[in-house]
A and B are shown apart, each in its own frame.
Chain A
Amino acid sequence: MPAFNRPAIEELFDYTGFSWDGVLDATRECGVEYFTKPAPGSGWPSLRDALGHVLFGYDRWLAIMKGEPMRGFDPAGVQTLEELNEAYTSFRDEFRALLEVPDDDLFRVEDTMVDGEPIKYSRGELMAHLLLHERGHFGDITTLFYQLGVEPDMGLEYRFMLGRHPD
């Protein structure tokens, strides 16, 4: 059984969803204008671009897992936080559907076409990769808030998802 077994993937899935909601709540709290406000000095032009990149990751890797073309999600075309969240929810529903297979299928290592090259991965490995990709970008997002001059108290740490910390 792989280290990132089904419960571990599901826990990372829940955790990234928890963090995503926290970032969106924080953006609303700061003011929706921060969604597209330029943040010079970062690798990302704006919060929209960093969050959109996370969704681009879902588009890319879900397509690879299915062996189908990408949807063509374009962060630049997203105008509102709600629009972005709808796309996120849609990608996450697709992720969940791909997780609903027997363990043998989830963890079978097989040739997977990545940028035209066959590479051996299991679907479960790519799912863990996708969720850790999302987690890795939360640092960029925190930095972006700082660069925008706002520092909302987001409480994105894993332990906060466990729901035991007093408010």
Chain B
Amino acid sequence: MHRDAIEELYSYTDHAWDLILAELGPKGNDILVDSAPGSGWPTMRDCLGHVLMAYDDWAADLTKQPMILADLAELASWADVERYREQVRERFREMLECDDDDLYRQCDIDVDGETVSYSHGEILANLLLHERGHHGDISTLFYQLGIDMPNIDYRFFVLDTRGSMN
């Protein structure tokens, strides 16, 4: 996936994240850990944290830095979640801020003990599409917690970016 599409997905996932947090944040920190039985996720924190930890984990693999967070239980408040988001997305941006040769060059990466050849661009695209995939889980969690899910469809992001509905 080329750089411009990665940038677009990056902006789109930010847009969706902002809408999700605008809905959840005002409900207080308890909603982060309210039980949501029936989902694969015990709580909203586990699902949102999983999305963020994927960034953290891959960035650690690609840049040989330690992960920022060791345990999702450290995310005790929306402020913690937001701070973690900013940190992992900053690392993402650092990986994107390179020339095209570096972005698209295949390199050997250790994935769960196996050596696999990926470019950084491929892993960055993987991370953004991973986040987008989990929007469905988040939607299910909203349903289970009795909260209306905001509309995070791409087409509304397009209109917001253009600054007009018409």
* A interface residues (Cβ-Cβ under 8 A, vs B): 1, 3-5, 7-8, 11, 15, 40-43, 118-121, 125-126, 128-129, 132-133, 135-143, 146-147, 151, 156-159, 162, 164-166
Contact = CB atoms under 8 A, between A and B. Distances in A.
Interface SS of chain A:
helix
Contacts of B91: none
Given A126-B155, A133-B153, A166-B114, A41 B144 contact: yes
Contacts of B143: 42-43
A80 B151 CA distance: 30
B2 A43 contact: no
Interface SS of chain B:
helix
Interface string B93-135: 0000000000000000001001011100011011001101111
B2 to A, nearest CB: 7
B140 interface: yes
B38 A135 contact: no
Contacts of B40: 142-143, 146-147, 151
A135 B132 contact: yes
A147 B8 CA distance: 33
A44 to B, nearest CB: 8
22 contacts: A3-B5, A7-B2, A8-B2, A11-B1, A41-B38, A41-B144, A42-B38, A42-B143, A119-B159, A120-B164, A125-B154, A129-B155, A135-B132, A136-B133, A139-B134, A139-B136, A142-B137, A143-B140, A156-B133, A159-B118, A159-B122, A165-B111
Interface of B: 1-2, 4-5, 7-8, 12, 37-40, 111, 114, 116-118, 122-123, 125-126, 129-130, 132-140, 143-144, 152-155, 158-159, 162, 164-166
B138 to A, nearest CB: 7
Given A3-B8, A138-B136, A139-B134, A158 B162 contact: no
Given A43-B140, A136-B135, A4 B155 contact: no
Contacts of A119: 159, 165-166
Given A8-B2, A147-B38, A43 B139 contact: yes
A139 B158 contact: no
A147 B39 contact: yes
B118 A140 contact: no
Contact of B39 (A5, A41, A136, A158): A41
A166 B111 CA distance: 10
Contact of A162 (B118, B154, B165): B118
Nearest to B10: A3
A125 B132 contact: no
Contacts of B122: 158-159, 162
B136 A136 contact: yes
A129 B153 CA distance: 7
